[in-house]
């Protein structure tokens, strides 16, 4: 499969460093829920302040190679339903225990008998001109939906629609947050359960919508707005290779990437926030159109 870098300009920036042969240490660990003692699958692990990371497998195991430059650094572990955990690499043992978050359980309310449904950021007729792809580092890319006058009080989140175009089937993790855009950080997670979504294989690179039903959680749309996050999982079944052509078309480069290949809209306002290496960031600006931003192609279906 071949792509032109001129078209896919939203690929996360890679740091091309001189090829220095450094000694490496490999750590092999299992991530455990400290209360239930059960393994935690699909947790994302980064070396702090770097683009180096992995994802634990379905048994909670992970392996990470660390060169001597980072032996005094720390790793950050992020998994839905658990507190983000920071551990010095020198103190890592064969198991790492994560502490579950304490959630305030909202009062269960009944849906209205007469339901009106409407879609925020309806993209059903959109022809996508941008995309967000990810290399070998765990990443959460989210689209922020602000609260506005069109959103009626006590509106519930019925479903999320994600648009992707993948060469093969893969998996992603869905995360929802109430979000502070001023300080660029989540206020709280809205679901304490991991939601794994399977992507659809795209034919001729055509966008495929994936609708995820969230009605069972009865989430009231927050007054702070909501961030819908797509979390990449660095696992073997998501791995694929892409050959990119340089702008002049003469030189080609093969890279390892991970599903999903998320569609993006190009807008005058920024709604994108991402989490990588332990930090939240905002804005991916279009190189061809500097006054525009790449936003993940995500729609939100509400009912009231």
Domains of the chain: 24-98 (2.60.40.1120), 106-303 (no CATH)
103: phi then psi, degrees, rounded to nearest 5: -110, 140
The pLDDT profile of the chain, 304 residues, written as one tens digit per residue, is 444 433 443 444 434 444 444 567 889 999 999 999 999 999 999 998 888 899 999 999 999 998 888 888 999 999 999 988 999 999 999 999 999 987 665 555 555 566 789 999 999 999 998 889 998 899 999 999 998 887 877 899 999 999 999 888 899 999 999 999 888 888 889 998 899 999 888 877 789 899 999 999 999 999 899 999 999 999 999 998 888 776 666 677 888 999 999 999 998 898 999 998 888 988 665 556 667 888 999 999 999 8
The dihedral built from the CA positions of residue 174, 180, 186 and 192, taken in this order, carries a sign that is: negative
pTM of the model: 0.84
Q: How far is residue 183's CA from residue 185's CA, in Å, rounded to a whole number?
A: 6
Question: Residue 272: beta bridge partners?
Answer: 143
Hey, how many other C-beta atoms are within 10 angstroms of the C-beta on 221? 22
CA–CA dist 170, 187 (Å, integer): 29
- Distance, CA of 135 to CA of 231 (rounded, Å): 13
- The torsion of the CA quartet 145, 105, 43, 256, rounded to 10 degrees, works out to -20
CA distance 250 to 221: 50
| Greatest alpha-carbon span in the chain | 66
How many Å apart are CA 293 and CA 219, to the nearest integer?
A: 29
């Amino acid at each position: 499969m071949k792509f032109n870098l001129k078209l896919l300009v939203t690929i996360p920036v890679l740091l091309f460093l001189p090829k220095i042969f450094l000694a490496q240490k490999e750590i092999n660990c299992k991530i455990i829920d400290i209360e239930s003692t059960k393994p935690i699958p699909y947790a994302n692990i980064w070396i702090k302040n770097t683009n180096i990371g992995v994802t634990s497998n379905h048994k909670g195991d992970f392996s990470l190679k660390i060169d001597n430059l980072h032996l005094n650094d720390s790793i950050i572990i992020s998994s839905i339903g658990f507190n983000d955990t920071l551990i010095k690499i020198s103190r890592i043992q064969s198991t790492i225990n994560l502490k579950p978050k304490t959630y305030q359980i909202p009062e269960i309310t009944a849906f209205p008998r007469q339901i009106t449904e409407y879609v925020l950021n309806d993209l059903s007729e959109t022809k996508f001109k941008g995309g967000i792809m990810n290399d070998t580092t765990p990443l959460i890319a989210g689209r922020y939906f602000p609260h506005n006058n069109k959103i009626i009080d006590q509106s519930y989140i019925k479903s999320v629609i994600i648009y992707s175009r993948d060469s093969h089937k893969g998996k992603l993790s869905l995360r929802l947050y109430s979000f502070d855009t001023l300080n660029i950080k989540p206020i709280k997670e809205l679901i304490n359960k991991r939601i794994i979504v399977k992507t659809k294989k795209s034919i001729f690179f055509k966008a495929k919508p994936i609708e995820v039903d969230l009605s069972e959680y009865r989430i009231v749309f927050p007054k702070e707005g909501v961030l819908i996050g797509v979390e990449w999982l660095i696992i073997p079944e998501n791995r694929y290779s892409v050959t990119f052509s340089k702008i002049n078309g003469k030189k080609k480069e093969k890279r390892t990437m991970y599903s999903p290949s998320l569609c993006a809209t190009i807008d005058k306002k920024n709604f994108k926030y991402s989490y990588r290496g332990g930090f939240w960031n905002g804005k991916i600006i279009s190189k061809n159109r500097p006054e525009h931003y790449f936003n993940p192609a995500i729609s939100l279906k509400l009912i009231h």
